[in-house]
Amino acid sequence: MNLTRGKVNIYIGIGIILACMLALFGINRFGENVQAEEKKAQQAQQEKEKNERQAQYQQQLEVLYGEINALIKEKESLKSEAIGIGFYDLSTKRAFSLNGDEEFLAASTSKVMLAMLVADKIQAGELALDQQVLYTVDDYADGTGAIINHRIETNYSIEALLEYMLVYSDNVATNMLYRKLGGRIVIRDEFRKNYLPELNVSKNLLTANQARDLLIQLNENKKKNPLYGQIIQWLKQTEFPIRLSTDRTIEHVAHKIGSVNHSVHDIGLFDIEHPYILTFYSTGLPEAEAEISTLSDKIYQLMTESYPVLDK
């Protein structure tokens, strides 16, 4: 086949253009592969650095927990009939305890559980905040409270009784609520069914771990009960800023003290960046209030000043 020089040149030009296009395509594919490998390597490096930061964070966290656990275990050396302490980091769900399953006369610390039960019955429509409860002479009780220190009214709303019980630790209000709900024996069985399956219902008994678990339920509020938040607010407004509540912690703790005979207790929820729970039960412990306050301050300082930061 005879081809003119012009046609030959055209074919050569087309060939050159195709060759250039193929070369460019190959270069682009090569460049894409290089970029993909570089991106993969970068991602692997980032993942490695992330894992290293996470490992370092966990190591620092373990150091913190070791210090907290040591502070708690130190209390075992104190001369007392019995001590029970529970700690729980709400951010990580790590828990520590000392004699955490030993039973104590709960005194007023069980009022938190009663308030939760009343709140749940209100949510279920069985009770109402504005529902009135008639006062009877059988409700009278000595000790702390707003009712006995003022003129006793004929009746009180359930909301008022809850507030008096938690803010003033009012024993009369507590008795009225127990009576309204069916009596202490019936109610303690409801406590066991609803909150603490291992609860000893024979007496008003609690362990440090049970009180801890109760406060976990109050804080998590899986039932989405709006009154749980109000319970926490009342606990913050307590008329007894002692024990777990110190000059350092007072603005950040919702707590309930309890005292009976030689027993001195406090259970609290600490609302800080990394919230936690601390429960302290004691019987026959000299200077018990000071011991509780000292431990509260030390743990609070560690949780606010030594908690590690996880770099993103």
pLDDT band at 311 (very low <50, low <70, confident <90, very high): confident
pLDDT in tens, 123-137: 999 999 999 999 999
- Mean pLDDT over all residues of the chain? 92
d(CA 239, CA 230): 16
d(CA 274, CA 299): 12
CA proximity to 265, closest of 275, 253, 246, 278: 278
- DSSP code of 144? S
The pLDDT of 265-283, averaged and rounded, is: 98
The pLDDT of 111-124, averaged and rounded, is: 98
Kindly tell me if the per-residue pLDDT of 114 is higher than 70: yes
Domain boundaries, the chain: 54-305
d(CA 101, CA 120): 26
Letter for the amino acid at 294? T
- The answer to whether the CB of 249 falls within 8 A of the CB of 296 is yes
Percent helix, percent strand, percent coil in the chain, to nearest 5: 55, 15, 30
- The answer to whether the CB of 285 falls within 8 A of the CB of 77 is no
Kindly tell me if the per-residue pLDDT of 1 is higher than 60: no
Looking at residue 35, its pLDDT comes to 75
| Percent of residues, the chain, with pLDDT higher than 90 | 78
Q: List the single range of 13-22, 236-245, 256-265 with lowest mean pLDDT.
A: 13-22
Which residues are CB-contacts of 85 (< 8 A; sequence separation ≥ 6)? 72, 75, 97, 98, 99, 100, 208, 278, 279, 280, 281, 295
- The answer to whether the CB of 272 falls within 8 A of the CB of 296 is no
pLDDT in tens, 147-199: 988 889 999 999 999 999 999 999 999 999 999 999 999 999 999 999 999 99
The pLDDT of 206-217, averaged and rounded, is: 98
Rg, the chain, Cα only: 33
pLDDT band at 11 (very low <50, low <70, confident <90, very high): low
User: Exposed, middle or buried, 260 (CB in 10 Å: 0-12/13-18/19+)?
Assistant: middle
Looking at residue 149, its pLDDT comes to 84
Q: List the single range of 9-18, 110-119, 154-163 with lowest mean pLDDT.
A: 9-18
Kindly tell me if the per-residue pLDDT of 22 is higher than 70: no
More reliable by pLDDT, 53 or 3: 53
Looking at residue 39, its pLDDT comes to 80
Beta strand 132-134 with 155-157: parallel, antiparallel or unpaired? Answer: antiparallel
Looking at residue 92, its pLDDT comes to 97
Residues listed for the chain = 312
CATH of domain 54-305: 3.40.710.10
Query: Residue 252: CA atoms inside 13 Å, Cβ hemisphere, count?
Result: 19
